[in-house]
Structure 1
Amino acid sequence: MAPPRLKLPKKNRETTKLVDTDDYLQSGDNHEEAMRKHRVGDPVKALRFADRALDVYSQGLARFPRSFDLAYNKARLELEKATDPVLSEALDVPTMSVLRQALSSHHFARDLAPTHADTLFNMAQVLTSIAEIIAEDDEADNSEALQKIEQALEIQSHCFELQQATFAKSRLELEQAMRETALHQTPQIDGGQAATNTSPEPQNASQEEQWVSIEEPVTAVTLLETIIAQIEALTTLCSILNSTPASGHAPTIILSWINSYSTKLLTHILPTLLNENQQTLEPRLAEVILPRAVFTSNYLELSLRLSTIDVEKYKEELDAAFTQPGLDAASEDVLLATARALLSFNSVLADLDTATGSHAALRWKILLDAQSRLSSVAGIPDINKHTVATTHVLRGDISLFLQILAYPPNAHPQALSTTPQLLKHAEIYYRNASKLLGSLGRSTDEERIICEFKGAVVGVLQQVTTSQAAAGSSSGQGNSGTIIGITASADQIELALKSVLRSRGEQWVRDQIEDMITEGLVFPQVFSAII
C-alpha cells in the first residue's frame, strides 16, 4: 500500500518566490507530480524530482519548523522513495540510509501531531521495512530487527484505535445529519418540486484560494488496510524468529505475545469489522485472507521449531489456511504464496531430520506439490517475465531439495533413483531463469549472476554423480545415480565455477556455497575441498 498522501489543491496564483508554507507545499507538490509522470519511463529522472521536492520541504521546514504539512510530506516522500519498487532501484545510496532518514522525519512529524493516524501508519511501515532489511543481513544482530517490528506493531495498534474512533464518530455524525434532514425536509410545492434558492452567492472573482490539507476520510476500507498492515508485520516478526530462533529474546515468550496479539486481531477485531461492513468489504475480502494465510504459515513454522505443535498439526492447519473460502486457488498470488509456504514446511522438516531423516517421504510429497503450483504460475497467460523467472529459480531449488533427500539420514528411494534427472532439471530451470533475468536489464543483474552460479554448482554435482555411477558400475554395484560419500576436487569446483570466480572473486563464491549449504540445497561434503 502506498503511503497515505495529503491532497493539496493548488492556489490560483503563480509565483516563483517561496514566501509562506503554502508556497513551499505547492512547489513540492509540483515536483512530486513530475516525479509520478516520469516514474515508469525514466526512474532516474523521477528520483531527481523526488529529491527536489524533498529539498523544498526541507527548506520550508527550516523557515517554518512547526508546519505539520511540510513535515508530513517530507516524511511520507522519504518512505515512498525507499519502498517504491521503481524509485528504490534508482537510488545511488543504500536503502537503509533513506529509511533511517524517513524514520527520523516521522518522529519529527509525530511530535507535531501525535494523533495523526496517517503519520503513525507510515511510521510503522518505515520500522517494518528497516526490520526486514536488517533480517536479510546474515551478519546483523537481529535484536534490532525484532525491536523495530515490535515497535511497528505497537504503533499500528495505536493507529487503528485512532482510526476506529474517527470512523465511529463520522458514522454517528452522518446518522445524525440524516435524521435532521428528514425532520426538517422542505415541504414540496408546485408539482412536487422543492423550493430552492437558485441565486448564486456573491463571489469575489479575485479572491485567492487558500492552500488547505484535504485528508481522505477514515472508512471501513481504511480500517481493513491497517489490519492487513498489522498481519504483515506479524508475519515479518515470525519470519525473523524462524531464521534466528535462538536470539537474545526468549522465543517462547514472544510466541505467546504473537498468539495473544494475533488472536485478538484475527478472531475478534477483523470478524467484527467484516460483519459490520459486509457490503463495503465483501469485494476486498481476498486482500486480507491471503495475508492471514501467509501469517498462519509463518506462525506454524515458528510453533513447530519451538515444539509447541507437532508435524501433523502443522500440516493440518497449513492445508486449512490456504483452502479458505474466498481464496482463488488458481490465482498467481495464491499459488506463489502456497508454494513458498510448502517450501518453508520442507525447511523446518529438514532441520528436524538432521538426526533421523524420518520425514523424507513427507518432504518429497510437499516439494512435488510446491513444484506443481509453480508450474501452474508459469503457465498463466501474459504473466510478468520476472515472475516467470522467479518460478524457474524456485523450481531449480526444489530439484536440489529433492535430490538432497538421497543423502543420509534420509536416503529416500525415489531421490536415489532419480538424482541425474533431478540435477538435469535444476540445470535447465536455472538456465531459463538466467536468460529471462538477462532480458530484463541491469536491475536484475545480481539475480541473474546468482542463477548462473547455481547452474555452475549443479555442474559440479553432475560431475560427481557421473563419477559415483561409474564407480558403482565397475565395482558391480547398481547404478543408483547417488553422490553419497563423494567429494568434488578443488580442480573440478574451480573449473565449473571459473567464470564466476573471475567476475566475483573467491570469497563471494565461498559465501554463496555456504548459503546454499545452509538453505539445504547442497550436501556440505561435496564442497569440503574449498569450504
Structure 2
Amino acid sequence: MPKPKQFARPPKKAKLKAAPETADDFQEAADKEEEAGGKHRVGDPAKSARAFLRALELYNQGLSRHATNFDLAYNKARLELEITQQPALVEHVGLPLIDLLRQTLDSHRYALRLNEENPDLLFNTSQVLVSLAEQLSEAGQAPQAIPLFQEALELLSACLSRQEMLLEQQRLEFEQFDDDGGVPLDPDETPASNSGSEADEQTARIETPVSANDLLDTVHASVSALTTLVPLVDESALQTYGDMAYALTEKRAPSYVTLLPDDLQEAARVILLLDRAIFVAAFSDAQYTFAMIDLATYADRLNAFDVPSKDQNAHALSAQAEARVELVQSILDRHQSSIELPAEICWKQLNLAQEANTKATRLNTEDAKERKAGILESQGGAEFLRHRLVTIPNVPLSEGIKRSARTLIQNAQTYYRGAAQLAWAEGDAQLAVKAKQRWLIACDIGSAVYGVAPKQTAAPFEGNPRDAKGDVMQALKDCVDEGLIAVDLGERIAQRILQ
C-alpha cells in the first residue's frame, strides 16, 4: 500500500508549555510523542504503541478545544493510518484491526469536512477505505466491501484532478517568474508557509509542491484498487472498471511519465506496465469466470507481463507466477475433474509459474530479498495445486507426470518450511504462521497418502504448537477453498488432524 501523504511541518519550538492551550501547543506535544514512538517502532513495538496512543490523545484533546483546526485533524488521521499499516503496533493498540480501520476512517472523514480539496488527505482517505474493504472482503463480506472500494476510487479520481490542477498552477507560476526575471521555486525546496490567524484556529501549514511522481502514485493506487475490486463485482460492472483502468494506464499516466527527468522515465514506465499487467490478469480472470472470454484469450493476455528486463524484476516474475496459478485455479473451478479439463494446459501454466518464481528467488536485489519468503510460500501453493492436478482420476497426463505426486508433496513441504523459517527470521509472524500451518498439512498428506515422513521432522520455528488443531483446521479449509487441495483429500486430512 502506498505510504500516507504527509505535510512538511514548521520548525519545532524551543520549549513546550506545561499545559497545551493553543493548537500549536497540542501539535508540538503530539510531535514529541510521535518522535518517541518512532524511535521504538522496531525494537519495542509495545512502547512505541503507547507513545503513539498518547499522541492520539493529545490530538483528541486539541480538537476538543480547536475543533476546526485542520492540521490537528489531519495529523491525527494520518497517525492512525500509519498505525494500521504496522501489524506489530496494532497488536498493542487494544482494538481489532477492522475496528481500528473504522475509527481511522471516521477521523479522515472529519478532516475532509474541514478541507475536502487537500490532495494528501484525499489520497490517505482512499487508502483507509481500501484497507477496510480488503479486510471485509477477506472476511467474506464482499457486499459491504464493494461500496468502500467505489468510494476510494471516487476520492482518488478527485485527488488526481486536484493534483493535475495544482501542477498546472505551479507551471504557470514558474513561467511567470521567468517572465518577470525572478527565480523559480525548486520543487525540492521548502516553500513559504501559509499561516492563518488564531481566530481561525489554523496553525502554520507548509505544503510541498505537487510532482509527477505524486500523480503516478495516485494512478498506482487507483489501478491497485481496481485490481482488487474486479473479482468482487458482477458481470455488468466489469466493463466500466476495465474502461477506468484503460484510461489511467493508456491515456493519463503515460503523459505523467514524460514529466519526469529523462533518467527516471524508463523505470516509471516499467512500473506502469506491471500495474497494467496485474490488472489485466485480474480482469481477464473475472471475464473468464463469467464465460465472457475463452481460455486461449485469457492465457494470451498474460503476455502483458513481458515487461522490459522482466527476468531481473522479482515483482514482475512473482506477479506473473501468481497470475498463472490463478488461471489454473479458475480452470479447475470450472471443470473440476470432468473429461473436458485441459490438464496439459494447467500443467504447463504451473510449470511456467514455478520457473518464474525460481528465477525471482535467485535474484540478489533488495526487492527480491524482501519478497523471497512470500515467493517460497507461493511455490508451496503451486506444488499443492500440481499435486491436486496429477491425482485427478483419469487425468490426461503422462504416467511420468502422474508418478510425481509424492515428490510434489515433498516439494511443498520444502517450500513451506523455507518460507516459515525466513518469514520468522524477518519478523513477519503472520506469514510465518501461515507457512508453518501449511507445512504441517503437507506433512500430514505425505504421511497419510504416501507413508513418508517429512525430510526434516522439527517444526520450522517455535511457537504456534501443533496442538492448536483449530488453527490448522482453518488453514486446511483455506487450502480447500482456494482450490489447492481437493475436497476429498481435505476431508481425509481433517480426520487425521482431529484424531
Residue 326 of structure 2 aligns with an amino acid whose one-letter code is S
State the distance in 1 between where 2:487 and 2:255 align. 51
Residue 67 of structure 1 corresponds to which residue in structure 2? 69
1:381 to 325, 346, 364: 364
1:515 to 449, 465, 478: 478
Residue 96 of structure 2 corresponds to which residue in structure 1? 94
State the distance in 2 between where 1:85 and 1:314 align. 36
Moved more, 334-343 or 10-19: 10-19
2:38 to 30, 36, 39: 36
State the distance in 2 between where 1:13 and 1:437 align. 43
Q: TM-score of the superposition, structure 1-length normalised?
A: 0.80
Counterpart mapping for 1:11-410 below 5 A: 11-16=12-17, 17-84=19-86, 87-88=89-90, 90-137=92-139, 140-181=140-181, 212-239=204-231, 241=232, 251-275=234-258, 277=260, 279=262, 282=265, 283-319=267-303, 321-325=304-308, 328-354=310-336, 355-381=338-364, 387-406=371-390, 407-408=392-393, 410=395
Residue 521 of structure 1 aligns with an amino acid whose one-letter code is L
Residue 106 of structure 1 aligns with an amino acid whose one-letter code is H
Alpha-carbon deviation of 1:3? Answer: 1.1
Alpha-carbon deviation of 1:280? Answer: 7.8
Q: 1:49 to 1:367 in 2, by over 3 A?
A: same
Residue 421 of structure 2 corresponds to which residue in structure 1? 435
Residue 10 of structure 1 corresponds to which residue in structure 2? 11
Q: TM-score of the superposition, structure 2-length normalised?
A: 0.84
Matched, 1:503 2:467: yes
Deviations 1:304-333 (A, max 9, x none): 1122222111122211x11134x5432222
Moved more, 367-376 or 349-358: 349-358
Higher Rg of the two aligned structures = 1
Residue 307 of structure 1 aligns with an amino acid whose one-letter code is A
SS in structure 1 of the partner of residue 208 of structure 2? coil
Q: 1:313 to 1:179 in 2, by over 3 A?
A: same
SS in structure 1 of the partner of residue 181 of structure 2? helix
* Preserved CA contact (<8 Å) 1:385 1:436: no
SS in structure 2 of the partner of residue 9 of structure 1? coil
Alpha-carbon deviation of 1:458? Answer: 2.8
* Preserved CA contact (<8 Å) 1:426 1:458: yes
Q: 1:353 to 1:76 in 2, by over 3 A?
A: same
State the distance in 2 between where 1:93 and 1:264 align. 39
Alpha-carbon deviation of 1:76? Answer: 1.0
Q: 1:13 to 1:511 in 2, by over 3 A?
A: closer
Deviations 1:426-464 (A, max 9, x none): 2222233333344445x51x5444434333333343345
State the distance in 2 between where 1:379 and 1:265 align. 33
Q: 1:386 to 1:116 in 2, by over 3 A?
A: closer
Residue 6 of structure 1 aligns with an amino acid whose one-letter code is F
* Preserved CA contact (<8 Å) 2:377 2:435: yes
State the distance in 1 between where 2:432 and 2:418 align. 10
State the distance in 1 between where 2:248 and 2:365 align. 37
SS in structure 2 of the partner of residue 521 of structure 1? coil
Q: 1:10 to 1:373 in 2, by over 3 A?
A: same
State the distance in 1 between where 2:343 and 2:235 align. 28
Moved more, 125-134 or 282-291: 282-291
State the distance in 2 between where 1:11 and 1:508 align. 49
* Preserved CA contact (<8 Å) 1:405 1:411: no
State the distance in 2 between where 1:182 and 1:35 align. 43
Deviations 1:465-497 (A, max 9, x none): 447x9xxxxxxxxxxxxxxxxxxxxxxxxxxxx
SS in structure 2 of the partner of residue 458 of structure 1? helix
State the distance in 2 between where 1:211 and 1:124 align. 25
SS in structure 2 of the partner of residue 215 of structure 1? coil
* Preserved CA contact (<8 Å) 2:373 2:418: yes
Q: 1:173 to 1:142 in 2, by over 3 A?
A: same
* Preserved CA contact (<8 Å) 2:90 2:96: no
Alpha-carbon deviation of 1:517? Answer: 1.8
Instruction: Return 5+ residue gaps in structure 1 as ranges.
Output: 184-209, 242-248, 470-498
SS in structure 2 of the partner of residue 433 of structure 1? helix
